[in-house]
Structure 1
Amino acid sequence: MHHPLTAVALASLALLGCQPAEPVRIGFLGGLSSRASDVGEAGRNAVQLAVEQRNSAGGIRGRTIELIVRDDAQDMEVATRGTKELIENRVAAVIGPFASSMAAAALPHINQAGVVMVSPTITSMDFVGNDDYLFRINRTTRDNARDYAAKLYQRGQRRIAATFDVRNRSFTESWLNEFKAAFAEIGGETIIAVPFESMPDAGFADIVTKMLAPRPDGLLFIAAAVDLSRLCEQAKRLAPKLPIAATEWAASEKLIELGGKALEGLLIVQNFNREDRSARYLAFRDAYFKRFQRDPGYSSVLAYDAATAVFDAMEKRTEGETLKQALVKYAPFEGLQQTISFDAYGDTPRTVYFTQIRDGRYEQIE
């Protein structure tokens, strides 16, 4: 005859066997409350959508995905705290951050914990060719700056005046230095580079006045959308005929809302093809709009690609394989518009598209 306790113990074990598996925790780190929060919010929305879609399709090997979100507020201390909290929550991976300076704050803790971090957007050369736990979905500042140098030169510009935001120095200085070198190589000159710090009263008229002093034949802004719109207003007021260009950082959906007519003619790169009519991209765009009542932007597309790569690698990896190994081994992953393959350092190429703002919309140009 069975002891009653044995029966109870067996019943408990049977019940435990029916418990659902613990969810896979995925962390998100991005700027959700800063002046440049448009990029982080669009990225978070895309990751949220990717999680919901994957969960409705059965999760990862039958386990649901739980998203844990932390705001880095574009502040290095806040980013450090958020990273530590995600690690304490035992996340399998972190998607983010979206600014190079925030990645610089997060990376030491990520490496120490051995947790994979996949940044959708960072491009600084500081993060290229390093054997660490950071993977990047975007190309480098060197790639982008070289393309800009060639495009501006092709358009007849030889003397460029630049301004750059020191609050995201890891990106802006990397971009500026790469541009200066590439532009000089083909016969152009960056005649002045005016530093500024992103804040509501940054003195945008003074910045543009300083840029105009050495009589450039083109203006280049290395700034987030919220500051770029103000810089373009001043450029249109002080030098309405001068060509204006801005780096890919500002190419968000919010930019058009913020800048209005002052942006007319602005040259800016996009990290995705807005004209794409493929079934895969249109299905994503429609699902995103239905869920968030707005169109996806570049950080949405890149963040969704980051989530796809992480989920697919987790699905495919075998026992004993780390996620870091799986991301390299099981590539290419099917992104929304292009496949994603990482080299041993977590770096990847990406195709970009030049656009010019005309009548309040991004129009692709050759």
Structure 2
Amino acid sequence: MRGINREKPSFWLRVLAGLSIGIALLGCNATEPIKIGFVAGTSGRVADLGTSGRDAAQLVVEQCNRNGGISGRQIQLLFKDDQQNPDIARQVVHELISDGVVAIIGPMTSDMALAVTPLLNDARVPAVSPTATTQQLSGHDDFFLRVCATTREYATKSARYHIHNGDMRRIVAVYDLNNSSFCENWLENFQTTFSGAGREIIATVCFKAEAKRTFLDIARELLAPSPDGVVIVANSMDSALLCQQIRKIDSDIPITLADWGATERLLELGGKAVEGVTVVQTINRDSLVPRYQAFLKTYLERYHREPGFPGVYTHDATQVLLAALRAQKKGQLLKETILSLRSFEGLQGKLNFDDFGDVKRSNASISIVRNQKFVVVE
């Protein structure tokens, strides 16, 4: 899109943001709904993250409103599609701030989170991301928070698994330039652990799905140096398509995927080509925690599909914001409330924010695709 202002918000945007925070703090006598934004890619190649997140947020907010809302005020969700485009992400966040949201759920990808964080900082409006994991957003005193761990945990888990359990020693890697802050950070962490054990990534190929180059061409380049394994760092759709083309050339080569590709969409689109593929998982799909089981049942009944990690983490992000709104004191920024509360109950266990709005989670696992299902192997 052209003509989108990339500069910092105007004076009037700052005024509107201040007014929205003030309105949120008026107390129990206010009757206006409390507005929360939701920003994610709900169309295109990353839509599985966005739609699962959107639907989970809707369920949580509906339950809150049925129970009386926050101090008698209903929660109103305002949905925006960032289309996995930094300019559009900035535009829709600008619109949400102007509309008076007190907080934002999202974005779901690292590149979009990097794009909008300066706007959040200027307007002093917090965003709690379910799934943006790049370490470029770690350790900063800003208005970006997240309920997921960083790429380090998940990439390191994958590398260690393949060091101890696989035959991959000389591998090739391919990643998506449309989310480069995540992909490059993920590969860097993977390579650090992998090469430390005397193994190596002998070639790296990057791509953009909208470019003229075909996935078959990419597969040919990947397999040209005769690797003994392939690591794909991409969304589920592109991961599935790459697996299909790689299998046309070499039906037996081991393939492993980053956590970004580990959604049900991979199984739907990949078919036989993803059988035997390993993925790093960020949630326990078989968790028996009653809270998770209740959410899973409700989600399946409503949407007739699994929430996956995007739905689980969006549930947690939404609950963090609602809990903070209940506890917020007059004159206190919502970000300050979240960090002062520090600990929240997630669907699969507690999450504890540090001073910079990051959390640590130690629930990474490795699954293999068998009979169109994710089967945990470690």
TM-score range, shorter chain: over 0.9
Does the 8 A contact of 1:328 with 1:341 survive in 2? no
2:377 maps to what in 1?
365
1:9 maps to what in 2?
none
1:320 Cα deviation from its structure 2 partner = 2.7
Question: What RMSD over aligned residues (CA atoms) do the two structures have, in Å?
Answer: 1.6
1:88 maps to what in 2?
98
2:365 maps to what in 1?
353
The AA in structure 2 aligned to 1:192 is A
1:47 maps to what in 2?
57
Unaligned runs of 5+ in 1: 1-17
The AA in structure 1 aligned to 2:129 is S
Counterparts of residues 169-208 of structure 1 (less than 5 Å):
169-199=180-210, 202-208=213-219
1:331 Cα deviation from its structure 2 partner = 2.7
**TM-score (normalizing by structure 2):** 0.90
Does the 8 A contact of 1:309 with 1:340 survive in 2? no
1:20 Cα deviation from its structure 2 partner = 6.1
1:343 Cα deviation from its structure 2 partner = 0.4
1:201 Cα deviation from its structure 2 partner = 5.5
Report the Cα distance in structure 2 between the residues aligned to 1:199 and 1:261, rounded to whole angstroms.
Answer: 25
Does the 8 A contact of 1:229 with 1:259 survive in 2? yes
1:321 Cα deviation from its structure 2 partner = 2.3
Report the Cα distance in structure 2 between the residues aligned to 1:188 and 1:96, rounded to whole angstroms.
Answer: 36
1:19 Cα deviation from its structure 2 partner = 7.8
Deviates more, 1:356-365 or 1:195-204: 195-204
The AA in structure 1 aligned to 2:100 is R
Report the Cα distance in structure 1 between the residues aligned to 2:126 and 2:364, rounded to whole angstroms.
Answer: 25
Report the Cα distance in structure 1 between the residues aligned to 2:355 and 2:298, rounded to whole angstroms.
Answer: 33
Report the Cα distance in structure 2 between the residues aligned to 1:42 and 1:27, rounded to whole angstroms.
Answer: 16
1:317 Cα deviation from its structure 2 partner = 2.4
Answer with 1 or 2: which has the greater Rg.
Answer: 1
Report the Cα distance in structure 1 between the residues aligned to 2:280 and 2:110, rounded to whole angstroms.
Answer: 18
1:248 maps to what in 2?
259
Does the 8 A contact of 2:236 with 2:265 survive in 1? yes
2:317 maps to what in 1?
306
Report the Cα distance in structure 1 between the residues aligned to 2:331 and 2:36, rounded to whole angstroms.
Answer: 20
Report the Cα distance in structure 1 between the residues aligned to 2:259 and 2:317, rounded to whole angstroms.
Answer: 18
Counterparts of residues 120-139 of structure 1 (less than 5 Å):
120-139=130-149
Does the 8 A contact of 2:157 with 2:364 survive in 1? no
Counterparts of residues 1-366 of structure 1 (less than 5 Å):
21-154=31-164, 155-199=166-210, 202-350=213-361, 351-366=363-378
The AA in structure 2 aligned to 1:100 is S
Unaligned runs of 5+ in 2: 1-27
The AA in structure 1 aligned to 2:365 is Y
1:187 Cα deviation from its structure 2 partner = 1.5
Report the Cα distance in structure 1 between the residues aligned to 2:67 and 2:259, rounded to whole angstroms.
Answer: 34
Does the 8 A contact of 2:368 with 2:375 survive in 1? yes
Does the 8 A contact of 1:42 with 1:300 survive in 2? yes
Q: Deviations over 1:283-339 (max 9, x none)?
A: 101111122222211100000000011111111222232211111111311110021
SS in 1 for 2:319: helix
Q: Deviations over 1:75-104 (max 9, x none)?
A: 111101001001001111100001111111
The AA in structure 1 aligned to 2:78 is I
1:13 maps to what in 2?
none
Runs of 4+ in structure 1 deviating by more than 3 angstroms, as ranges, are none
1:15 maps to what in 2?
none
SS in 2 for 1:35: helix
**TM-score (normalizing by structure 1):** 0.92
The AA in structure 2 aligned to 1:252 is T
**Number of residue equivalences:** 350
Deviates more, 1:91-100 or 1:203-212: 203-212
1:3 maps to what in 2?
none
Identity %: 40
Report the Cα distance in structure 1 between the residues aligned to 2:286 and 2:210, rounded to whole angstroms.
Answer: 34
2:8 maps to what in 1?
none
1:45 Cα deviation from its structure 2 partner = 0.4
Does the 8 A contact of 2:342 with 2:354 survive in 1? no
Does the 8 A contact of 1:251 with 1:268 survive in 2? yes
